[in-house]
Structure 1
């Protein structure tokens, strides 16, 4: 045997690569990989330890540990609904020797009731009573405890250990569950990836979560419902923190110091920030405290009741407190919903909630943006001039979504002329979502008001138009194909087709006809270029 194979790290690397990624973090091995590792462990002593480490590294059930104990300890009764595990005799210390030799190899454990076995609260209570001192997996590094069963939730503490660095727990549903958090920071001082999910409206959750977070000093990734001002200041000073997700952030109570007096931390390194806020003020308050952070990805989700004026305040906050040199991805929209809203905005809602193009002007200072998604409760109220301002402001844009809304869109005021600006000023744009009134196709002499030649942009491939009226499909297709020769996909309408009005269904069919004409027009142009080239060559030869 080659001397290099006596080095466990090299053997582990060979096993990992040979099995094509046998180490599936937080997932069990596939049967073929598990069988191969078991065979390697029995081949020779040099292979045994590295193979067993990989075999046990990721687990999603305690069943394998139980199977290492003497066969006369457990009794499994099968019934129609579940399998119940019962003790047939007391567990002695010697019964734990063999299973614990394997349990110490476990680094990742994922509990999910869909494939974890056994999954009853009574079993885990019994297991905690029978365990020797300490956690079941003393060297565990990552734990995912995904269940909404309130009776099971407290038992995840049997799996946490002092070397735990990644923790995901869902869903905390009571004050008793929240009371588990303070002890976690003490028992797991090395935590750097934390995800804590709670029920909505749970009293005291912000205080409990904030107290927990303030004890963590090695944070790199954090996802929690909300934080108070002190906890957010603590988070902003974590030099290793890269990702922050606040799922239900509320405005700070007025007892805290004014935002303008907050000292900006000097070591804030968050690059990805995701906020779901209950009030527009909360978004600005968070951004102020993270002012020094080089955020590149920013996502803000606001409630349906947010007015256009409140959204403008969010835009102002983003422009004032985000790093203009680093921000490339921006999304300010409603939270995703599973059920389409079929309500139609009335005139009062449009006046209060529709976002005019002038409100977007603060964002035009963010010239490094490459992907933008903006929406309002009833949509954006843009015209051709606003579309031109947007195209001029973001020349690096590659994906632009201005079509999102929970309501069927208000009638669009942008026309096919607006697309000329995107063709002229956005050479990298490949995806555009923008409602357009395409009932009238401009003539080229009237469309080109300046002396420049007709713009042609060869990157755009996808065009989503929301609820947009359309005229003669072939005329529209010819216009689009002339300025976007590489355009391939056109979609219209929004939401589940079952909820789409008959008129919109007809518009969808019209737009599909436009899409169907695009490849034909591309073929015609290619043939024209071919024959023109042939004719020129023939003339030159003569």
Structure 2
């Protein structure tokens, strides 16, 4: 046993001043008697596993680990490895870099980290003893923190800053002219061979100062080297997520990540993938999840080839419907089960039909379809039943989640017949969101009832409108055992045709119908008039009270039966 001086052991955000005495912590007794096996004598892996399973949450465990690390040499390594495994505030690590100076300006909100002199190689020893233990870095840089030191680290630190890092998540909110030119230098400090997951988000907060906006033209040139260095120094990266203002990224480097399984790029402020790079990405054998913006790809570049042999999930952002249909045709994977097309501009009914026909090629695997249009139109303003447009999707026997949304009133009408066809085609569906901006009621209570009976696994339902204006015959609404937790309708009642008293009665009937169809509906996710919501809550409370009474009666009858079973004889005595 030994005790390390407190000033030599660096445990960020933890204090050990009021912790248990040396050699003891709750649930762990460190024994040094030669006749007994001590925890310190066990292999490193076992000691590490013991510390991982300490009682309490992470905030209760860390002070215990800090105390162990400062009191026992044999246990300090596994304890420090757990303490430093995940770093959520890199500033605690940067203060260990020799010659680092922190300036907190009294006249402004900024805190600046910079190097005030040359760093000798031997001076990195203390920093390295902690940096090598970090496996996960999840840092969201505040807008008032400036890291000028990263631009100078390259001349003093030839290797990666965190050599054993596996997961990097860096969220940069930029509103300072200095921060705009810092992100690239920061990112160049982390690529290492052990890295597996990288998430970088850069948000530029515009200010009224024209000088700040002018800095957008002074793009961070160090960003240009980030992806090439990541590809060469971290070839085993599997998950890569990029978003925000990073105008100098060289996306042509992406096909060099041969181990990539998940690639997500969104809102890169005009940085787009071209057709050549997209085709090169299709050759990545391990790629299973892809989310990109293909506005920089022409339809001609997608003809005559196939790829993506392992793709399972595909998200297209801001892509036209004809480009999306061409992209779907390039997928050769037999595991493809999820497609999401969002932010598509105006499309016609025929274009959407063509897209759904392409999706039919994956009828044995596709389970999730999500499409968002700015507007879906038809010639002569004709309105088509939904199932006439998505007829090809009715062959997707494994459909679990369907979402089709148009932000403008359009050419689609959802009717009882549509709901019935979808229920027959997808009896196991769990999520159904159909919003087309159409205010006229199309689905009636009869259609909703039939759908609830045929799709008992439905959990989330969101529709434009439902026809509750017709008198609701509760005798035709059966009690069901549904899994529905969330229900939403944009339009409930036409108050122009119903007076106040009649509105209350109809609202109560609507509440009764919904309560019978979906008895376990969670009111936390209910979207509708407050009157109907209150009626449903009352009906659910009454049903709970009834169940409580039934349980109480059952218990009482069981007790009486038990007493009767104990009676062995009854003697009746009559008087004279």
Name the TM-score class by shorter chain. Answer: 0.7 to 0.9
- The residue number in structure 2 matching 1:195 is 241
Q: Secondary structure at the match of 2:399?
A: coil
Pair 1:478 & 2:509 matched: no
- The residue number in structure 1 matching 2:146 is 120
Pair 1:138 & 2:163 matched: yes
- The residue number in structure 2 matching 1:496 is none
Of 111, 116, 139, 1:83 maps to 111
Question: Once the 2 structures are TM-superposed, how far is the Cα of residue 439 of structure 1 from its aligned partner?
Answer: 0.8
Alpha-carbon contact 1:166-1:194 (below 8 Å) kept? yes
- The residue number in structure 2 matching 1:362 is 392
Alpha-carbon contact 2:94-2:100 (below 8 Å) kept? no
Pair 1:395 & 2:436 matched: no
Provide the rounded CA distance (Å) in 1 between the counterparts of 2:520 and 2:103: 63
- The residue number in structure 2 matching 1:271 is 312
- CA shift in 2, pair 1:94/1:178, >3 Å: closer
Provide the rounded CA distance (Å) in 2 between the counterparts of 1:101 and 1:486: 55
1:227-266 matches, within 5 Å, as: 227-246=273-292, 248-250=293-295, 252-256=297-301, 258=303, 261-263=304-306
- The residue number in structure 2 matching 1:499 is none
Alpha-carbon contact 2:312-2:333 (below 8 Å) kept? no
- The residue number in structure 1 matching 2:269 is none
Alpha-carbon contact 1:272-1:295 (below 8 Å) kept? yes
Alpha-carbon contact 1:395-1:425 (below 8 Å) kept? yes
- CA shift in 2, pair 1:306/1:458, >3 Å: same
Alpha-carbon contact 1:143-1:160 (below 8 Å) kept? no
Alpha-carbon contact 1:316-1:362 (below 8 Å) kept? yes
Provide the rounded CA distance (Å) in 2 between the counterparts of 1:128 and 1:264: 39
Of 360, 371, 374, 1:332 maps to 371
Pair 1:310 & 2:351 matched: yes
- The residue number in structure 2 matching 1:157 is 188
- CA shift in 2, pair 1:390/1:180, >3 Å: same
Pair 1:375 & 2:409 matched: no
Provide the rounded CA distance (Å) in 1 between the counterparts of 2:53 and 2:126: 29
- The residue number in structure 1 matching 2:481 is 458
Provide the rounded CA distance (Å) in 1 between the counterparts of 2:368 and 2:299: 32
Alpha-carbon contact 1:467-1:492 (below 8 Å) kept? no
Of 468, 492, 513, 2:492 maps to 468
- The residue number in structure 1 matching 2:461 is 432
Provide the rounded CA distance (Å) in 1 between the counterparts of 2:424 and 2:86: 51
Alpha-carbon contact 2:315-2:340 (below 8 Å) kept? yes
Provide the rounded CA distance (Å) in 1 between the counterparts of 2:547 and 2:134: 61
Aligned-residue RMSD, C-alpha: 3.8
Provide the rounded CA distance (Å) in 2 between the counterparts of 1:7 and 1:141: 24
Alpha-carbon contact 1:354-1:376 (below 8 Å) kept? no
Q: What per-residue deviation string (whole Å, max 9, x for no partner) do you get for residues 308-329 of structure 1?
A: 4333333222223x3x333323
Question: Once the 2 structures are TM-superposed, how far is the Cα of residue 364 of structure 1 from its aligned partner?
Answer: 0.8
Q: Secondary structure at the match of 1:101?
A: helix
Of 75, 84, 96, 1:56 maps to 84
Q: Secondary structure at the match of 2:403?
A: strand
Provide the rounded CA distance (Å) in 2 between the counterparts of 1:518 and 1:301: 39
Question: Once the 2 structures are TM-superposed, how far is the Cα of residue 388 of structure 1 from its aligned partner?
Answer: 1.5
Q: What per-residue deviation string (whole Å, max 9, x for no partner) do you get for residues 193-243 of structure 1?
A: 11122449x6x97xx32x222101101211124644454444444443332
* TM-score normalised to structure 1 length: 0.76
Of 444, 456, 462, 1:415 maps to 444
* TM-score normalised to structure 2 length: 0.71
Aligned residues: 474
Q: Secondary structure at the match of 1:519?
A: helix
- The residue number in structure 2 matching 1:301 is 342
1:56-75 matches, within 5 Å, as: 56-68=84-96, 74=101
Unaligned runs of 5+ in 2: 1-30, 32-36, 175-179, 204-215, 267-271, 495-502, 555-576
- The residue number in structure 1 matching 2:262 is 221
Provide the rounded CA distance (Å) in 2 between the counterparts of 1:37 and 1:526: 49
Provide the rounded CA distance (Å) in 2 between the counterparts of 1:443 and 1:66: 70
Q: Secondary structure at the match of 1:256?
A: helix
Unaligned runs of 5+ in 1: 23-29, 336-344, 448-453, 494-507, 534-542
- CA shift in 2, pair 1:8/1:520, >3 Å: closer
Question: Once the 2 structures are TM-superposed, how far is the Cα of residue 158 of structure 1 from its aligned partner?
Answer: 1.5
Provide the rounded CA distance (Å) in 2 between the counterparts of 1:528 and 1:108: 53
Of 39, 49, 66, 1:13 maps to 49
Q: Secondary structure at the match of 1:42?
A: helix
